[in-house]
Amino acid sequence: MRQSVPKVSVPDRPSLEGLEAKWDRRWAEQGIYRFDRTRPREQIFAIDTPPPTVSGSLHLGTVFGYVQFDSIARFWRMRGKEVFFPVGWDDNGLPTVRRVQNHYGVRCDPSLPYQPDAWIQAEPGHERPVSRRNFVELCHELTASDERVFEEVFRGVGLSVAWELVYTTISDRSRRVSQRAFLRNLARGEAYLSEAPTMWDVDIQTAVAQAEMEDRPTPGAYHRLRFHRADGGDVEIDTTRPELLAACVAVVVHPDDPRWRDLVGTEVRTPLFEVGVPVVAHPLADPDKGTGVAMICTFGDTTDVVWWRELGLPSRSIVGRDGRLQAERPDWLTTEAAAGAWAALATKTTASARRETATLLAASGELIGEPRPIEHEVRYYERGERPLEIVTSRQWYLRNGARDEQRRDALLAAGRALSWHPDFMRVRYEHWVGGLNGDWLVSRQQVFGIPFPVWFPLDEEGNVRYDQPIPADEATLPVDPQSDVPPGYTESDRARPDGFVGDPDVMDTWATSSLTPQIAGSWEDDPDLFARVFPMDLRPQGPEIIRTWLFTTVLRSQLEHGSLPWTDASINGWILDADRKKMSKSKGNVVTPEALLHEHGADGLRYWACSAAPGTDTAADPAQMRVGRRLAIKVLNASKFVLSMTGGSGEVTETLDRSMLARLRSTVTDTTAAFERYQHHQALERTEAFFWSFCDDYLELVKSRAYGRGHDQEDAATGSARAALSLALSVQLRLFAPFLPFVAEEVWSWWQEGSIHRAPWPARSELDLAGEDDLSVLEVVAEVLGVVRRAKTTEKRSLRSPVARLEVVGGPERLGAVDAARTDLVAAGSVAELVLREGPEPETLVVLGDASRA
RNA sequence: GGGCGCUUAGCUCAGUUGGUUAGAGCGCAGCCUUCACACGGCUGAGGUCGGAGGUUCGAGUCCUCUAGCGCCCA
């Protein structure tokens, strides 16, 4: 076991200042993290990284997650794998639209003409209308500058990203991949167009998918309405949505409810509008709610949709896409009273129509009592501000197993085949897949997004033939059907009878994000690359997007490739603020990564992130970052010390040295196993624990010998210490490299060639120790040294003060261990006389020297 | 209402397949300065692992019930 030491160049006062900038620049110059695409698949570790949503600032949670799996990436790279570590920016869709509106103070008005050389200044707070194309240009402009800011942060925290692989979700490549995948879904019958009731955001004016909805407690009120029976009696019905009375198509009771059995099959008349509606029975009617009778409207909530569909009821829609009651009187309102009531409600928003309806009902005597205020859960778009309405519209859907048991089972099997870290996250996937209640609605009515690559023919009367979509030719992708022309037509055919129209909708952002492996791997554009990286190894992501990003990626991969997109998924936890509250902009408790990076340094911030277990919610704790920074400084100083004692070369012969290396060897084993199980926090903890005992005990014990005091410079014992120190430092720096890449690289550069981040991961074989002697020596001697220190501290002496007599009592093993390190122990403790005595109980007795000589 | 997770020292958290006196850091207390480190070092005090019951030779670690918190889905 020989360790040859090359030239060493250690700064006088090592410091963390400036390391980030220095090494980021050198890594870029030397292409340390560049992806070598010539390597075969089995030598590649491919990561499907989450593209952060491009907005004003990078969320700390994004940095937290990225740092964690960067440590994994660095481990595998040192392990000899070529790591495919791309990064993408999600700059497509509503968040970008919103940001552009707010940043520039503009809104998109598609009716305006394009202004080619418009110079639009940022005037937040305004709402200046601009053309669609000008708006899209602003989207590109702003996201490009946001992305530069994001990249700076990512570089600042030392992510080992292959920057040549960067992609954006609005780029031509992403458009091409999204559109191609959609065309294939369409060709295989997995995508279809359907006109159906749809959850609709009335402000943003777009359809919303199940995955993007959430329930929020919202104030409402029960109104008790008087419906009229044919025999002259009344039926009382509670509703929270009286404004939908004109849309009432039936009233419903539970089939087993004895109170209303006679009513079923009869007809009742609605209040105000005097429309006859049937009384029907359905098990979803809750006898305990209100009077046990509910009105069915088209559509007040999703239960209405179920009743409407299952009972074959007619459609009487009155709410428009703008969330207002329609202007013209519905043709089923025929009486004079009905017309009068409608006139008072037309064009009102649902909220004000609700109040007006209550007034009208009170006046007609058909409102019983006062409305009773309640708070109930109401469905919203997660980015929206008003409750969702249900409107009927034509949308694209993708089959996701909700209506197909075989497909659903296949998706559940995929979830079981995937390795989850932590494992319990799998349950969230299974519940989501098991609870899907409809196919995936992928179309959105928005300005900025990836258009559907289809057109529709018009018949001789100018009607759109939605049943005969014209798909784009794959070779022409990406296309914009608003400006491009379908095969076999010319631009002059647009919007003419016997001509065509382009599909005006864009895809849901998840319809693109679900294809990140295909985008990053250049599916079809670069088949050689794709074959080398797909299926990938790891999908790291946050827990909140299991039902969206993770599920949809599995779905698309299964539809297109019939395989899982990756073998492992690692789910990181939430970031909470110091008070353990979830960080959010509205609470004003968001801490920016830039500020933390500036204050604690990259390695300090990384230490905090890597200390957290996968899947565990974690507080943004500055104290933990300070600890990390302190560790990095300690690495600098301890390394400087170690390197001051190396020189020449030697062989590790001393038992104490061998004992230290044996412990390091088991640290390497544990750390490697932890990384292989995606338990980066355990790897860090083991490495750190070894390092501190290395500094506190081994360095203290060995430094006198390593200096060569009282020996010739080339003494074998000195040579042994120096070789062991040198080897231990090399191994420890490499163990720290995934967590503290800057300080590890800095120290490495003092005495080694090349980057530590391409150096081999420490192997047990480097620490192969011949011989069978007792390797617990360090443990025993460190314990004795601890007793000596305690004695000095208790007596308030300096640790350098002399010990007159040190007596160690114990069995032969204990005494043998102490004897093996006798010289080191005596030197480290300033011991005048060391006595070993056999005895039944281990004991250590310290007699301090004369205090005056201390 | 269903599901998942968490509950370990004052605080923030580790604790792998159940196995010797339950670990770390912060904070706290005391001590030590200049020959690696004051952006420091050493030493110490402090938990019986939310509660109850069970399985076991043995449980923080498995099972049942229960309380509180968080998240997801109804």
Both tokens of A125, joined, read 């707070």
- Whether pLDDT at A830 is above 50: yes
Tally of CA atoms within 13 A in the half-sphere of A813 that contains its CB? 11
Chain B: bases < 7 Å from a protein Cβ: 2-5, 12-16, 24-26, 30-37, 39-44, 70-74
Cα–Cα dist A175/A180, whole Å = 8
Under DSSP, is residue A571 helix (H, G, I), strand (E, B) or coil? strand
* Best CA proximity match to A550, nearest among A565, A560, A563: A565
- Whether pLDDT at A575 is above 90: no
pLDDT of residue A771: 58
pLDDT of residue A12: 83
Asked whether residue A192, judged by its CB, lies under 7 Å from any atom of the DNA or RNA strand B, the reply is no
- pLDDT tens across A462-515, in order? 899 999 999 999 999 999 999 999 999 999 999 999 999 999 999 988 999 999
pLDDT of residue A381: 85
- pLDDT tens across A117-146, in order? 778 888 888 889 999 888 989 999 999 999
CA of A432 to C1' of B3 (A): 11
Residue A353: exposed, middle, or buried by beta-carbon count in 10 A (0-12, 13-18, 19+)? buried
Residue A707: nearest nucleotide (C-alpha to C1'): B35
CB atoms within 10 A of CB A47: 28
Q: Once rounded to an integer, what is the mean pLDDT over residues A697-709?
A: 86
Q: Once rounded to an integer, what is the mean pLDDT over residues A539-558?
A: 93
- Whether pLDDT at A2 is above 50: no
CA of A610 to C1' of B33 (A): 34
Cα–Cα dist A660/A723, whole Å = 12
- Residue A685: C-alpha distances to residues A680, A689, A739 (Å): 9, 6, 11
pLDDT of residue A850: 67
CA of A186 to C1' of B66 (A): 53
Cα–Cα dist A687/A74, whole Å = 15
CA of A416 to C1' of B67 (A): 33
- Contacts of residue A412, Cβ cutoff 8 Å, sequence gap at least 6: A430, A433, A434
Asked whether residue A427, judged by its CB, lies under 7 Å from any atom of the DNA or RNA strand B, the reply is yes
- Whether pLDDT at A329 is above 50: yes
Query: Among chain A residues 369 through 408, which have CB within 7 angstroms of nucleic chain B?
Result: 377
Cα angle value A654/A655/A656 (rounded, 5°): 95
* Best CA proximity match to A74, nearest among A766, A767, A755: A755
CA of A580 to C1' of B26 (A): 17
CA of A673 to C1' of B58 (A): 28
**Which residue's entry shows tokens 């379908």?**
A486
- Whether pLDDT at A1 is above 50: no
CA of A221 to C1' of B66 (A): 37
CA of A182 to C1' of B62 (A): 49
Residue A424: nearest nucleotide (C-alpha to C1'): B4
CA of A60 to C1' of B23 (A): 29
Cis peptide before A527 (omega within 30 of 0): no
Q: Once rounded to an integer, what is the mean pLDDT over residues A261-287?
A: 90
Portion of chain A with pLDDT greater than 90, in percent: 54
Cα–Cα dist A646/A448, whole Å = 62
- Residue A777: C-alpha distances to residues A102, A767, A784, A824 (Å): 67, 17, 11, 12
- Using an 8 Å Cβ cutoff, are A428 and A543 in contact? yes
Cα–Cα dist A382/A633, whole Å = 44
More confident residue, A176 or A386: A176
Under DSSP, is residue A254 helix (H, G, I), strand (E, B) or coil? coil
- Using an 8 Å Cβ cutoff, are A429 and A415 in contact? yes
Cα–Cα dist A353/A246, whole Å = 11
Q: Once rounded to an integer, what is the mean pLDDT over residues A376-395?
A: 86
Asked whether residue A813, judged by its CB, lies under 7 Å from any atom of the DNA or RNA strand B, the reply is no
Return mean pLDDT, chain A.
89
CA of A290 to C1' of B64 (A): 39
- Whether pLDDT at A854 is above 50: no
CA of A305 to C1' of B1 (A): 22
One-letter amino acid for residue A448 of the chain: F
* Best CA proximity match to A198, nearest among A110, A279, A305: A305
Asked whether residue A660, judged by its CB, lies under 7 Å from any atom of the DNA or RNA strand B, the reply is no
DSSP-derived secondary structure letter, A809? E
- Whether pLDDT at A770 is above 70: no
pLDDT of residue A583: 57
Cα–Cα dist A114/A360, whole Å = 48
How would residue A393 be classed by pLDDT, with cut points 50, 70 and 90? confident
- pLDDT tens across A612-627, in order? 988 888 888 888 899 9
- Using an 8 Å Cβ cutoff, are A49 and A85 in contact? yes
Asked whether residue A851, judged by its CB, lies under 7 Å from any atom of the DNA or RNA strand B, the reply is no
Would you state the torsion angle of the CA atoms of residues A196, A199, A202, A204, taken in this order, to the nearest 10 degrees? -100
Could you identify the residue whose CA is nearest to the C1' atom of nucleotide B69? A580
- Whether pLDDT at A584 is above 80: no
Query: Among chain A residues 457 through 496, which have CB within 7 angstroms of nucleic chain B?
Result: none
Query: Among chain A residues 596 through 655, which have CB within 7 angstroms of nucleic chain B?
Result: 611-613, 616-619, 621, 623-624, 627, 629-630, 633-634, 637-638, 640-641, 644
Q: Once rounded to an integer, what is the mean pLDDT over residues A778-790?
A: 89
Asked whether residue A34, judged by its CB, lies under 7 Å from any atom of the DNA or RNA strand B, the reply is no
- Whether pLDDT at A774 is above 80: no
Under DSSP, is residue A804 helix (H, G, I), strand (E, B) or coil? strand
- Whether pLDDT at A852 is above 50: no
CA of A417 to C1' of B5 (A): 22
- pLDDT tens across A799-810, in order? 888 888 899 998
Q: Where are the alpha helices (DSSP H) in A276-328?
A: 302-310
Asked whether residue A797, judged by its CB, lies under 7 Å from any atom of the DNA or RNA strand B, the reply is yes
- Whether pLDDT at A734 is above 80: yes
Question: Which H or E run contains A62?
Answer: helix A60-78
pLDDT of residue A582: 58
* Beta-strand runs (E) in A148-275: 167-168, 191-201, 206-207, 213-229, 234-239, 248-253, 267-269
- pLDDT tens across A646-692, in order? 766 678 888 899 999 988 998 999 999 999 999 999 999 999 999 99
CA of A619 to C1' of B1 (A): 31
Cα–Cα dist A444/A655, whole Å = 71
Query: Among chain A residues 571 through 590, which have CB within 7 angstroms of nucleic chain B?
Result: 576, 580, 582
